[in-house]
Amino acid sequence: MISVLMTLLILTWLNAFYAVSFHKDFYTQSREDRNTAEWERDHEKLRIASLSIESNQKPNATVVNEGSVPIVLADLWVTDLTNNTNRVYNLSQTRELIIPTGSYEINVGQNVNATPTLALNNLHSYDIRVYTKRGNFAKQTYVPTTPNTDVGPFYFSFDKQSFNYTTSNAGGGPAWEIVCSSSYPKNNILFILKFTNHGDRAIEISYLSYMMVVAPRDDYLEDESYYHILNNTSTSVAPVAYTDYSQVVPANPQNKEVGVTQIVKFGGLKPGSSTLQSFPIPPAASQYASERKFVYTVWIGIFWRWQGTSDYYGIYVPFTGIHVRSS
C-alpha cells in the first residue's frame, strides 16, 4: 500500500514538474517569438519611391524595402484629400507581395480588384499608404501634375497650354515666362486662359471680370495693370468688346468633375472696351535690375451669375506668377 502511494506521489510530482516545465517552455518560446516579431517589426522599413495614377484609374506605386528583413505587403489605404473619403484595399488577392531586403516591387496597386471598383481621379489629391503584414506602412501624397485653382463652381487650369498670350507686335506663347523690355515691349497684349465650369448650372460671366498683373517698380512700390474680359473670338490684332453676360459656360450634368471648359480672354483697357492694354515694362532701376529678371504676380477678379436667375457672385483670387525677363 505504501509503495502504491509513493508511486502515485512520484507520478503526481512528475506530472506537476512536466506541466510547469511545459508552461515555462511555452512562455519562454512565446516571449522569444514576441521578441522576434517586435525585432522584425522594428527593423522593417519601406518607402514609396514613385507614385502615379494610370489610365485604368488605379495607383501605380513602386515600393522599396530599405529594412533588414523581408516584407509582405498587405493593404492599400487610399484617402481622397479632395472630397475627404477613404477606402482600404487588399493587396494579397492574387499572390503574396513579398519584397526581399534591398529589393523593390513595381505596379503596386495595379492588381487590386474590388467592389466597388478602385477608380481614382487624376485631378484629385490622394494620401496613399501601403501597409505590411507586420503593421508598418509607407505613405506618399499624390498631387495632380496639372493642378487647378478651384475658386468657386469653376476653376482655372495650370498646365502649360492653359495660360498663353499673344501681342500685336511681338508674337506670343505660354504666359508663364515673358521676355519684355523698353526695347522689346509687348504692345496690345491678349491673355488666354482655360475656364472650367464644374457647377450644376450654366454660368454667365460679367463684363466686370478682369485679370490684374502686379509688377514691382522698386523695393517698396509696385504697378498694377488691369486686363478686362473680351469676347473670346478676339485676337491681339482684332479685339472684340465684351457684352455683359454674353459668354455662357454650360454645366456638365453627366460629370461635374470634368465639367465644361471654354477659353476666356483678358486684355481690354476697361470694361466693355475693344482697346487692348500693353504689358508693363520691367523697372529700369531696382534691386532686381542686376539680375535682369522679375516676378509679376497675377490676380483674377471673376463676376458671374447663374443663368436664368438673379444670383450674382464675385471673387478675387490669386492666380499665378509670371517670370519676366528683360531682354
DSSP string of 279-320, one letter each residue? PPPPPSSSTTGGGTEEEEEEEEEEEEEETTS--EEEEEEEEE
Per-residue pLDDT reduced to its tens digit, 29-44: 666 667 777 888 898 9
Q: Are β-strands 172-174 and 163-166 bridged in parallel, bridged antiparallel, or unpaired?
A: antiparallel
- pLDDT (average), residues 267-295: 79
d(CA 268, CA 209): 10
User: Of residues 275 and 126, which shows the higher confidence score?
Assistant: 275
Q: Looking at the predicted structure, is the pLDDT value of residue 7 above 90?
A: no
Q: Among 151-155, 175-179, 248-252, which is the least confidently predicted range?
A: 151-155
On whether the CB atoms of residues 229 and 266 are closer than 8 A, the answer is: yes
Q: Looking at the predicted structure, is the pLDDT value of residue 11 above 70?
A: no
- What is the SS3 assignment for 265? strand
Tell me: cis bond preceding 100? Omega within 30 of 0 counts: no
Query: Please, which pLDDT band fits residue 283 given cuts at 50, 70 and 90?
Result: confident
pLDDT value at residue 107: 86
Q: Looking at the predicted structure, is the pLDDT value of residue 293 above 90?
A: no
On whether the CB atoms of residues 120 and 110 are closer than 8 A, the answer is: no
Per-residue pLDDT reduced to its tens digit, 214-250: 988 765 677 899 999 999 999 999 999 999 999 999 9
Q: Looking at the predicted structure, is the pLDDT value of residue 13 above 60?
A: no
Average pLDDT, whole number, for the chain? 84
Which three cell numbers mark 51?
A: 507614385
Sign of torsion over alpha carbons 213, 196, 194, 294: positive
On whether the CB atoms of residues 200 and 256 are closer than 8 A, the answer is: yes
On whether the CB atoms of residues 43 and 68 are closer than 8 A, the answer is: yes
pLDDT value at residue 246: 96
Query: Please, which pLDDT band fits residue 10 given cuts at 50, 70 and 90?
Result: low
